[in-house]
Chains A and B, each alone.
Chain A
Amino acid sequence: MDSDDEVNSVISSEDLGGDADSSVGDFGGDDSDVDFDELQEHDGFDTQEKDLKPRKKAFEIDHKVYSPEDIQRQQDDQVAEVATLLEQPHESTAILLRYGRWNKERLIEQYMDNQEEVLDKAGLGQDVQKSPPRIEVIDGFVCDICCEDTPGLRSFALKCGHRFCVDCYRQYLAQKIRGEGEAARIKCPGDGCNRVVDAKSLDILVRTDLTDRYHQLLMRTYVDDKENLKWCPSPNCVYAIECGVRKRDLTRVVPTVFCDCKHSFCFGCTLPDHQPCPCSLVKLWLKKCEDDSETANWISANTKECPKCHSTIEKNGGCNHMTCRKCRNEFCWMCMGMWSEHGTSWYNCSRFEEKSGLDARDAQARSRQSLERYLHYFNRYHNHEQSAKLDKDIFHKTEKKMTLLQSASDMSWIEVQFLEEASQALQRCRQTLKWTYAFAYYLARNNETEIFEDNQKNLELAVEDLSEMFEKPTDQLSGLRVEMMDKTTFCNRRRIVVLDDTAKRLKEGVSYNLHFYGFGVVC
Chain B
Amino acid sequence: MTAPLPKRIIKETERLQTEPVPGISAQPHDDNARYFDVTVQGPDGSCYEGGVFNLELFLPDDYPMTPPRIRFLTRIYHPNIDRLGRICLDVLKNNWSPALQIRTILLSIQALLGAPNPEDPLNEAVAKQWKDNQAEAIKNAREWTKLYAQPKE
Chain A residues at the B interface, C-beta cutoff of 8 Å: 144-148, 162, 164, 168, 171-172, 175, 179, 189-193
Contact = CB atoms under 8 A, between A and B. Distances in A.
Interface in B58-108: 62, 64-66, 95, 97-100, 104
Interface in B82-137: 95, 97-100, 104
Given A175-B62, A175-B65, A175-B66, A191 B99 contact: yes
A191 B64 CA distance: 12
Contacts of B12: 147
B62 to A, nearest CB: 7
Nearest to B12: A147
Given A171-B65, A172-B65, A175-B66, A148 B99 contact: no
A192 B7 contact: no
Contacts of B98: 145, 164, 168, 172, 189
Given A171-B65, A172-B65, A191 B97 contact: yes
Chief secondary structure at chain A's binding surface? loop
28 contacts: A144-B99, A145-B8, A145-B64, A145-B98, A145-B99, A146-B6, A146-B7, A146-B8, A147-B10, A147-B12, A148-B7, A162-B99, A168-B98, A171-B62, A172-B65, A172-B98, A175-B65, A175-B66, A179-B65, A189-B97, A189-B99, A190-B97, A190-B99, A191-B99, A191-B100, A192-B95, A192-B97, A193-B97
A413 B10 CA distance: 75
B29 interface: no
B152 interface: no
Interface in B1-15: 6-8, 10-12
B92 to A, nearest CB: 13
Nearest to A193: B97
Contacts of B11: 147
A190 B98 CA distance: 7
Nearest to B62: A175
Contacts of B62: 171, 175
Contacts of A162: 99
Given A171-B65, A172-B65, A175-B65, A147 B97 contact: no
A450 B7 CA distance: 81
Given A190-B99, A192-B97, 11 more contacts: A146-B6, A147-B7, A147-B10, A147-B11, A168-B98, A171-B62, A171-B65, A175-B65, A189-B97, A191-B99, A192-B95
Contacts of A146: 6-8
A467 B66 CA distance: 60
Nearest to B9: A147
A189 B65 CA distance: 9
Nearest to A145: B98
Nearest to B66: A175
A171 B95 CA distance: 17
Contacts of B10: 147
Nearest to B7: A147
Nearest to B65: A175
A148 B65 CA distance: 15
Contacts of A172: 65, 98
Nearest to B91: A191
A459 B12 CA distance: 76
A488 B97 CA distance: 64
Contacts of A175: 62, 65-66
Choose among B10, B95, B100 the residue with the greatest number of A CB atoms under 10 Å from its CB.
B100
Contacts of B104: 191
A179 B95 CA distance: 15
Given A171-B65, A172-B65, A147 B100 contact: no
A171 B62 CA distance: 9
Nearest to A144: B99
A191 B100 CA distance: 6
A372 B75 CA distance: 58
Nearest to A171: B65
A162 B100 CA distance: 13
